[in-house]
Amino acid sequence: MEKNINHYLKHHTLVITFAVFSAIVILAAGEFFLYRKIMVVNKMFSEGLMQIKEFGKGNPVPTIVLKK
């Protein structure tokens, strides 16, 4: 009886440890990919602002042309 209880506790502890470790690894991977995507969006935004600044230095060209 005591052997069965010890086996059950050891198995249960191993399963819980594996589940917690797996969850931590999955969360870390998600944070890493989210960080990379945020860096890509920040780079795109920065490049867009630089293009707007470069466009403002020259002669402004309207983006909408009104035809009568």
Return the DSSP state at 61.
-
Mean model confidence pLDDT for the chain: 87
Higher pLDDT, residue 7 or 63: 7
Q: Which of 18-22, 45-49, 62-66 has the lowest mean pLDDT?
A: 62-66
Does the pLDDT value for residue 55 go beyond 90? no
Grade residue 37 by pLDDT with cuts at 50, 70 and 90.
very high
The model's pTM is 0.60
The residue-averaged pLDDT of 16-28 equals 98
Alpha-carbon gap, residue 36 to 26, rounded angstroms: 16
Closest CA to 35 of 47, 43, 25: 43
